[in-house]
Amino acid sequence: MTNLSLVWFRNDLRTADNPALFEAAERGSVIGVFLVADEQWQAHDVAPIRIGFLRSTLCQLRARLQALNIPLLVQRAPRFSDAAGSIVRLAQAFRADRVFCNAEYPLNEVRRDRAVYQACRDNGIALERFHGGVIVPPGSLRTTEGKPYTVFTPFKRRWLDTLSTDAWHPLPVPRSQQPLTGSLPEIPSFEAALQCLPAVAHSDWPAGEAEADRRLQTFLKQRAQDYQQLRDFPAAPATSQLSAYLSIGAISARACLTAARRSNDNQLNARPGKRPGLDSWISELIWREFYRHVCADFPHISTGAAFRRETDALQWRQNPDQFERWCAGRTGYPLVDAGMRQLAATGWMHNRLRMVTAMFLSKHLLLDWRKGERHFMRSLIDGDFAANNGGWQWSASTGTDAAPYFRIFNPSSQQKKFDPDAEFIRRWVPEFADDSSSYPEPIVDHAAARKRALAFFKRS
């Protein structure tokens, strides 16, 4: 057999618009590979519910690949340091002369891929990398001074100006290949390779490409028009519910952008136009791109450091009891508590509440944003380092933001504005509505906490 390639799947678990898979299939026969890095995921605080979602998505991917006569080989490689040896051994065993993959941008993933590239090169195996996780590749956007963008709005303008025709042409599912023949090694049991992964599932999140596409189409047809007006109201079913699928790669950002643009009369607007809901949602896709570019351009954020290095000197408070009350949704602020309880119960939290709860921890309690970032990663089904880190640092005023530290959300005002009838709060904090005497008093007074936070940041 000749021209056999491996496609190394990571967070790109789909057959449609997958550049690595498509290019490999164009050149010859393909075997898919997925490495189970369970120990590394634990070290990276990946939530059990996300790993369970990954497991279910792998099963869906396997079925779609089988329909194309492409086997999917799953092998355990517990740490990223095991990846180079695993990929080389698999390529040699199947006499594959080339490995294809889509890039990942956090620092540990970059280091892993460098080691795999070097090991492949040392053994006469080519490794080709594509940018299947973004629409505009990191490194391709620079300011007039030749520097990476650090503020979203100018990044967005440049991003929109840079889009090429490729942005509107998601790649199709590859053609079905001829069944592999010849003396090939036996492919290990798919099910056995997944035994080390938790079978955690949630009925709100069916896995796979088909479900991701269904959600996209439903959103565009039924909710996108009202997205700008309703997206900040957690009780309203206004969001796309696609974040977990984008995070795991069951759908591509390019497919989402193309479908949204088509629904928007083929328009991309820097400011809201005739269909502001679609313009607003497209802007959220660009935020996703922005944080990936930041992750690639500023690798120090992958080491636990603040984006704004000067804020690493901040002396955050230590109060384990208040942190535990925040985690448990017992702060005495109903909207904060409702968001935290939604996260604990479902593995997901409404985006407005991610900002409210993150700012409450970092500004009202002055607890280290990294503790909150880790708690979110340990809980979220859509846990994604770039987005999670970017959101937390934005909320804590240590990250990429045009506004300085004095942005401090008032959780009571946020409740009045975005859950005025307490519909969402009643769902998750029933004791607040049923028996207010059993609901705790606020653990901190907003006015006093705001004054303390302003002094804290100003002094530091």
- What residues are annotated to the active site? 284, 287, 316, 351, 369, 392
Quote the CA–CA distance of 137 and 131 in Å, as a whole number: 6
Quote the CA–CA distance of 227 and 106 in Å, as a whole number: 30
Helix (H) or strand (E) holding 286: helix 276-297
Residue type for position 409:
F
Gyration radius of the chain's alpha carbons: 23
Which DSSP state fits 171?
P
CA-based angle 104:106:108, to the nearest 5? 100
Quote the CA–CA distance of 135 and 138 in Å, as a whole number: 9
Residue type for position 387:
A
CA dist 135 to 160, 166, 178, 270, Å? 11, 9, 31, 17
Quote the CA–CA distance of 105 and 206 in Å, as a whole number: 27
Helix (H) or strand (E) holding 72: strand 72-76
Quote the CA–CA distance of 368 and 274 in Å, as a whole number: 42
Q: What is the DSSP string of 96-159?
A: --EEEEE---SHHHHHHHHHHHHHHHHTT-EEEEE-TT-SS-TTS---TTS----SHHHHHHHH
Nearest in space to 52 (alpha carbons), one of 196, 234, 209, 224: 196
Taken in order 271, 273, 277, 279, the sign of the CA dihedral is: negative
| Tokens of residue 312, six digits | 């690493």
